[in-house]
């Protein structure tokens, strides 16, 4: 079972005001069919579709995609956490059986202002009640807030996207991230190497940190994600799909099995 735990699809929006909002421009159409082609070619069984940044909180397209085959596709939706009715909106999206997660994005200035604020706790309470996984697109400066939220909402499973974009790949500089392993409800996506590696593929400078993440979190709290379609302009889908196998010898075959699919399958499809 191979599960791509982090990817995006969307309909093109040629009028979107910030065409540089994502690595692949919002003006480009990224349909489900394109993703399915890569999944078939590289034997990826399931995919977690994360609502991308630029369409805002209208999750309708990703929901429609997942409805085509709920056994293969799950959705991580987005709501605007600054809205007074954010919790009610989340509950409505959670009514879609394919919606199995919520994404919060404190890397965005508007969302950063309310991240961890008591005014946003209703979102977390709703996520707990609806059994949603909360994914967090964060940076190192947000880790203390993530820790506080993980402790306060200990029944909510949290997944930190792209290792919180580490400011350095030196293990000594990532102790804040690694300390999140003390929170048993926090997992990490070992993804997004092109965003923080200082080298070209095969991103050899990431190996030491990834090994430290395995040592601290354990393989049961790690998940692979391709970050499709952006990866197509970086290393390519195939290189992402086989990176752990080819370049992380510290992972045993059983650990790779869990990181590459078993953990995500349990998290998003066992409900």
Residues 190, 195, 197, CA angle at the centre, nearest 5°?
80
Tell me, what's the pLDDT at 22?
84
> How much is the average pLDDT of 244-250?
96
CA 161 centroid distance within chain:
4
- Band (pLDDT 50/70/90 cuts) for residue 13 is confident
Residue 75, classed as helix, strand or coil, is strand
User: Taking the domains of the chain in order of start, what are their residue ranges?
Assistant: 3-269
The Cβ-side half-sphere exposure at 61, using a 13 Å CA radius, reads 19
Rounded Cα distance, 261 and 67, in Å: 21
Token readout for 125 is 């309470």
Terminal Cα-to-Cα distance of the chain (whole angstroms): 17
Average predicted confidence (pLDDT) for the chain: 96
pLDDT at 235 over 90: yes
CB 66 within 8 A of CB 73: yes
57-112 pLDDT, tens digit per residue, is 999 999 999 999 999 999 999 999 999 999 999 999 999 999 999 999 999 999 99
Other beta carbons within 10 angstroms of residue 37's beta carbon come to: 11
Quickly tell me which residue has 């946003």 as its tokens: 120
Domain 3-269 -> CATH class:
alpha beta
């Amino acid at each position: 079972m191979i599960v791509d735990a982090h990817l995006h699809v969307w309909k093109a929006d040629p009028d979107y005001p910030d065409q540089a909002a994502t690595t692949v421009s919002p003006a480009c159409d990224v349909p489900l069919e394109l993703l399915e082609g890569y999944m078939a070619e590289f034997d990826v069984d399931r995919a977690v579709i994360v609502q991308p940044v630029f369409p805002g909180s209208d999750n309708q397209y990703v929901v429609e995609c997942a409805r085509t085959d709920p056994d293969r596709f799950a959705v991580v939706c987005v709501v605007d956490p600054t809205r007074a009715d954010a919790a009610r909106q989340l509950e409505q999206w959670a009514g879609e059986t394919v919606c199995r997660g919520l994404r919060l994005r404190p890397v965005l200035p508007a969302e950063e202002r309310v991240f961890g604020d008591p005014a946003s706790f209703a979102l977390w309470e709703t996520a707990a009640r609806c059994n949603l996984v909360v994914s967090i697109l964060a940076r190192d400066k947000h880790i203390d807030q993530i820790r506080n939220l993980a402790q306060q909402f200990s029944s909510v499973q949290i997944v930190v996207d792209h290792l919180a974009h580490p400011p350095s790949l030196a293990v000594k500089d990532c102790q804040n991230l690694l300390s999140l392993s003390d929170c048993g409800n926090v997992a990490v996506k070992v993804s997004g190497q092109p965003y923080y590696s200082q080298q070209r593929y095969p991103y050899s400078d990431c190996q030491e940190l990834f090994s430290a993440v395995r040592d601290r979190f354990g393989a049961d709290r790690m998940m692979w994600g391709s970050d499709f379609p952006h990866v197509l302009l970086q290393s390519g889908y195939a290189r992402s799909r086989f990176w752990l196998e080819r370049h992380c010898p510290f992972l045993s075959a059983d650990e790779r099995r869990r990181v590459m699919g078993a953990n995500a399958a349990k998290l998003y499809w066992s409900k």
